[in-house]
Amino acid sequence: MFDGPLSAVYNRDNRLKVARDEAAARAQEEEEQARAQQAEREFRHQQLLRRAAGPNAEAEAPAPSFGASQAADQLEHINFWKEDELKLKEQHPEVVVSRQAFLRKQAYTRKAAT
């Protein structure tokens, strides 16, 4: 056999270690694929249940499970445009008219009180 510096690469122990590492990597990959398939099955099952319940039951349908680490009650709607919507609402003509009427009423009650 070759007695140079590369002989350690091809010895029996290193080949066995490589084989074990490759087997472990294959097993981990298969486990990840199985988890992904299970999540896909659960998602499709939830979709079928919602579809079978009808359009009125969508509000009552449970949220799909994302695993034990994330509960459905932790999920909430995030409104990125809340400030912009409030500004637009304040500028709406009906809001402006009602605000002006409120201010006129306040001014009238102040005059009457003095």
The letter for the amino acid at 106 is Q
At 106 the pLDDT is 87
Element (H, E) at 92: none
Give the pLDDT confidence of 53-111 residue by residue, as tens digits.
Answer: 877 765 555 555 555 455 555 677 888 888 888 887 778 888 888 888 999 888 888 87
At 62 the pLDDT is 56
Angle 74-78-84 from CA coordinates, rounded to 5°: 160
Between 59 and 50, residue with greater pLDDT: 50
Q: Are 89 and 95 in contact (CB under 8 A)?
A: yes
At 1 the pLDDT is 47
Q: Which pTM was predicted?
A: 0.39
